[in-house]
Protein backbone atom coordinates (compact mmCIF):
# COMPACT_ATOMS: atom_id res chain seq x y z
CA UNK A 1 0.00 0.00 0.00
CA UNK A 2 1.84 3.12 -1.16
CA UNK A 3 -0.40 5.48 0.81
CA UNK A 4 0.31 3.61 4.03
CA UNK A 5 4.09 3.80 3.51
CA UNK A 6 3.82 7.53 2.91
CA UNK A 7 1.73 7.97 6.03
CA UNK A 8 4.26 6.00 8.06
CA UNK A 9 7.15 8.14 6.76
CA UNK A 10 5.23 11.31 7.54
CA UNK A 11 4.27 10.07 11.00
CA UNK A 12 7.90 9.19 11.74
CA UNK A 13 9.09 12.63 10.69
CA UNK A 14 6.28 14.36 12.60
CA UNK A 15 7.10 12.36 15.74
CA UNK A 16 10.80 13.17 15.57
CA UNK A 17 10.14 16.86 14.86
CA UNK A 18 7.62 17.04 17.72
CA UNK A 19 10.36 16.04 20.15
CA UNK A 20 12.34 19.11 19.05
CA UNK A 21 9.80 21.59 17.71
CA UNK A 22 6.33 20.60 16.49
CA UNK A 23 5.53 20.79 12.79
CA UNK A 24 3.21 23.70 12.05
CA UNK A 25 -0.29 22.37 11.43
CA UNK A 26 -3.55 23.78 10.15
CA UNK A 27 -7.01 23.25 11.64
CA UNK A 28 -7.23 19.94 9.74
CA UNK A 29 -4.06 18.65 11.41
CA UNK A 30 -2.06 18.65 8.18
CA UNK A 31 1.32 20.40 7.86
CA UNK A 32 1.15 24.06 6.89
CA UNK A 33 3.54 25.30 4.24
CA UNK A 34 3.62 29.02 3.48
CA UNK A 35 5.80 28.63 0.41
CA UNK A 36 6.48 25.76 -2.02
CA UNK A 37 10.11 25.55 -0.87
CA UNK A 38 8.94 24.68 2.66
CA UNK A 39 7.06 21.63 1.36
CA UNK A 40 10.12 20.75 -0.70
CA UNK A 41 12.38 20.96 2.38
CA UNK A 42 9.95 18.68 4.22
CA UNK A 43 9.90 16.19 1.34
CA UNK A 44 13.67 16.38 0.90
CA UNK A 45 14.10 15.41 4.54
CA UNK A 46 12.02 12.28 3.98
CA UNK A 47 13.94 11.34 0.82
CA UNK A 48 17.35 11.86 2.40
CA UNK A 49 16.31 9.78 5.40
CA UNK A 50 15.03 6.99 3.13
CA UNK A 51 18.32 7.03 1.24
CA UNK A 52 20.08 6.40 4.55
CA UNK A 53 21.84 9.76 4.80
CA UNK A 54 20.88 10.10 8.47
CA UNK A 55 18.90 8.48 11.26
CA UNK A 56 15.92 10.10 12.92
CA UNK A 57 18.08 10.69 16.00
CA UNK A 58 20.66 12.52 13.87
CA UNK A 59 17.86 14.53 12.24
CA UNK A 60 16.38 15.54 15.61
CA UNK A 61 19.82 16.55 16.86
CA UNK A 62 20.53 18.63 13.73
CA UNK A 63 17.11 20.31 13.79
CA UNK A 64 17.44 21.08 17.50
CA UNK A 65 20.90 22.56 16.95
CA UNK A 66 19.66 24.71 14.05
CA UNK A 67 16.77 26.05 16.14
CA UNK A 68 18.98 26.74 19.16
CA UNK A 69 21.57 28.49 16.99
CA UNK A 70 18.87 30.71 15.44
CA UNK A 71 17.40 31.50 18.86
CA UNK A 72 20.89 32.37 20.09
CA UNK A 73 21.16 35.12 17.49
CA UNK A 74 17.67 36.50 18.10
CA UNK A 75 15.31 34.42 15.95
CA UNK A 76 11.79 35.65 16.59
CA UNK A 77 10.69 32.03 17.17
CA UNK A 78 7.16 32.78 15.97
CA UNK A 79 6.99 29.97 13.42
CA UNK A 80 7.79 32.07 10.37
CA UNK A 81 11.37 30.78 10.23
CA UNK A 82 10.56 27.15 11.05
CA UNK A 83 11.46 25.65 7.68
CA UNK A 84 14.59 27.78 7.47
CA UNK A 85 15.73 25.71 10.46
CA UNK A 86 14.84 22.53 8.56
CA UNK A 87 16.92 23.67 5.62
CA UNK A 88 19.83 24.60 7.90
CA UNK A 89 19.62 21.13 9.50
CA UNK A 90 19.62 19.41 6.10
CA UNK A 91 22.60 21.47 4.95
CA UNK A 92 24.47 20.67 8.17
CA UNK A 93 23.85 16.93 7.79
CA UNK A 94 24.83 16.98 4.10
CA UNK A 95 28.06 18.74 5.04
CA UNK A 96 28.75 16.48 8.02
CA UNK A 97 28.24 13.38 5.90
CA UNK A 98 30.54 14.66 3.14
CA UNK A 99 27.79 14.78 0.53
CA UNK A 100 28.45 18.43 -0.35
CA UNK A 101 30.90 21.07 0.77
CA UNK A 102 29.88 24.41 2.24
CA UNK A 103 31.23 26.02 -0.95
CA UNK A 104 28.97 23.82 -3.10
CA UNK A 105 25.97 24.62 -0.92
CA UNK A 106 26.76 28.36 -1.04
CA UNK A 107 27.12 28.21 -4.82
CA UNK A 108 23.72 26.52 -5.11
CA UNK A 109 22.09 29.08 -2.78
CA UNK A 110 23.59 31.88 -4.91
CA UNK A 111 22.30 30.26 -8.10
CA UNK A 112 18.77 30.03 -6.67
CA UNK A 113 18.97 33.64 -5.53
CA UNK A 114 20.00 34.79 -9.00
CA UNK A 115 17.26 32.65 -10.55
CA UNK A 116 14.68 34.19 -8.21
CA UNK A 117 15.74 37.70 -9.17
CA UNK A 118 15.66 36.81 -12.88
CA UNK A 119 12.19 35.22 -12.76
CA UNK A 120 9.20 37.37 -13.70
CA UNK A 121 6.70 37.92 -10.90
CA UNK A 122 4.11 35.16 -10.71
CA UNK A 123 6.24 32.62 -12.56
CA UNK A 124 7.80 29.57 -10.90
CA UNK A 125 11.41 30.03 -9.89
CA UNK A 126 13.53 27.52 -11.75
CA UNK A 127 17.24 27.01 -11.41
CA UNK A 128 17.39 27.23 -15.20
CA UNK A 129 16.51 30.92 -14.80
CA UNK A 130 19.92 31.62 -13.26
CA UNK A 131 21.55 33.99 -15.76
CA UNK A 132 24.97 32.54 -14.90
CA UNK A 133 23.77 28.92 -15.13
CA 25, chain centre distance (Å): 16
Per-residue pLDDT of the chain (133 residues; tens, 9 = 90+): 344 344 456 666 666 666 666 677 788 877 788 888 888 888 888 889 889 999 988 998 999 999 999 989 988 877 788 889 999 999 999 999 999 999 999 999 999 999 999 999 998 888 999 999 8
CA distance 13 to 7: 10
Q: Which positions ≥6 away from 42 have C-beta within 8 Å?
A: 13, 31, 33, 83, 86
Q: Which positions ≥6 away from 126 have C-beta within 8 Å?
A: 115, 119
Amino acid sequence: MPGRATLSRYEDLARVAADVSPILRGDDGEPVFREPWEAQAFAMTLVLYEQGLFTWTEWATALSAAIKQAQGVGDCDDGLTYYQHWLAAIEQLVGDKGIATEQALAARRDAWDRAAHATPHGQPILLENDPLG
